[in-house]
């Protein structure tokens, strides 16, 4: 029996799935994070191997050879990322040399979200990214440059825009906004001038600041004009991501677009703004809810990387 390995490696957890050529999922396993920019290549590969080992135990095929493997890992974008992770995965014996495909984990989200069909996946959680794949198999990523260069329209981007607006309100460059007292309360500050030390001296992470995004959405829902403007600008940025991916690929009838991430799927008022901005920026787009999980997508990508065509519908046996 031919066995294929799919891996969905994230910043918090790594999930591995074993599937046979008929689409039967025969084993699944989980372990720690595998974004090598955060944990280093040895730890990332160790966690992938651990998750794979647990999937093997469930499958009862501990000794079976893997025909091909697809590793979708967070943080992988540059060719050097792909080369390093591929080399490490081959050394670890995850699959034969030349039969391991490494790509960004958004490939799994796209494949799972649209069940392997062509289209575009837009993710807006803490950060933002967008990936498209057309019927020819060509892919294009628009965005994904991280919090310093990108992420407008994601949780961090909305939070940062709100904090800038609060600072401008505090020194009179902009009008009053409920974002100012909300920012101070969120950060535990007693006055605006304390923002300097909190953001330039104290340690913080993008995930931490992105936690303010729901407050921005709440302020907009309560009628704050500044917060509403920030949401509209964020939504417009998401629309541009989808349009950028669509322009680079061939979607004669317009692309199916699956929306992923807690920010863009937050409901009213932000989600409708984002959906409208996407349809305006990319006429012909068809918005879709995700059909399956990224782990499902990892299994499909493993089969595709192993030359299985057409892709079968997955069946859970474990």
3-state SS class at 97? coil
Q: Tell me which fold the domain 3-115+291-316 belongs to.
A: Nucleotidyltransferase; domain 5 (3.30.420)
pLDDT at 60: 86
Same fold, 3-115+291-316 and 147-288: yes
pLDDT at 64: 77
pLDDT at 290: 96
pLDDT at 166: 98
Tokens of 283: 């006429």
Q: Tell me which fold the domain 147-288 belongs to.
A: Nucleotidyltransferase; domain 5 (3.30.420)
pLDDT at 120: 98
Residue 309 CA to residue 10 CA, distance in Å, equals 27
Sign of torsion over alpha carbons 100, 106, 112, 115: negative
Question: Crossing angle for the helix pair 179-187 and 213-221, nearest 10 degrees?
Answer: 150
3-state SS class at 270? helix
- From first CA to last CA, the distance across the chain in angstroms is 16
What ranges do the domains of the chain cover?
3-115+291-316, 147-288
pLDDT at 318: 58
Mean pLDDT of the chain: 95
3-state SS class at 191? coil
Name residue, tokens 């498209």.
Answer: 132
Per-residue pLDDT tens for 13-34?
999 999 999 999 999 999 999 9
DSSP of 145-157: -HHHH--TTSHHH
The DSSP output letter for 27 is E
Peptide bond connecting 45 to the previous residue in cis, omega within 30 degrees of 0: no
- Regions of the chain short of the pLDDT cut 50: none
């Amino acid at each position: 029996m031919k066995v294929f390995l799919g891996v969905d490696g994230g910043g918090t957890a790594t999930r591995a799935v074993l599937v046979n050529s008929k689409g039967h999922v025969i084993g699944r396993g989980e372990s720690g994070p595998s974004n090598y920019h955060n944990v280093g290549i040895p730890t990332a590969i160790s966690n992938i191997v651990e998750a794979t080992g647990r999937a093997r135990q469930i499958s009862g095929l501990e000794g079976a050879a893997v025909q091909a493997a697809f590793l979708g890992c967070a943080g992988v974008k540059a060719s050097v990322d792909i080369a390093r992770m591929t080399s490490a995965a081959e050394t670890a014996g995850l699959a034969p040399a030349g039969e391991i495909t490494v790509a960004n984990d958004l490939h799994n989200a796209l494949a799972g979200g649209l069940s392997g069909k062509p289209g575009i996946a837009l993710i807006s959680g803490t950060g933002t990214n967008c990936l498209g794949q057309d019927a020819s198999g060509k892919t294009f990523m628009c965005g994904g440059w991280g919090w310093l260069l990108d992420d407008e329209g994601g949780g961090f981007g909305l939070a940062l825009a709100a904090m800038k607006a609060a600072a401008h309100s505090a020194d009179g460059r902009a009008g009053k906004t409920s974002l100012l007292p909300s920012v101070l309360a969120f950060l535990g500050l007693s006055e605006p001038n304390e923002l300097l030390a909190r953001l330039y001296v104290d340690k913080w992470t993008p995930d931490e600041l992105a936690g303010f995004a729901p407050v921005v959405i709440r302020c907009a829902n309560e009628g704050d004009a500044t917060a509403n403007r920030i949401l509209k600008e964020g939504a417009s940025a998401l629309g541009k991501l989808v349009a950028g991916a669509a322009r680079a690929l061939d979607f004669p009838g317009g692309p199916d677009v699956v929306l992923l991430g807690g920010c863009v799927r937050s409901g009213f008022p932000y989600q409708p703004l984002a959906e409208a901005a996407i349809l305006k920026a990319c006429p012909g787009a068809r918005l879709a809810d995700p059909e399956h999980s990224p782990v499902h997508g990892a299994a499909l990508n493993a089969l595709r990387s192993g030359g299985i065509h057409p892709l079968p519908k997955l069946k859970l046996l474990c």
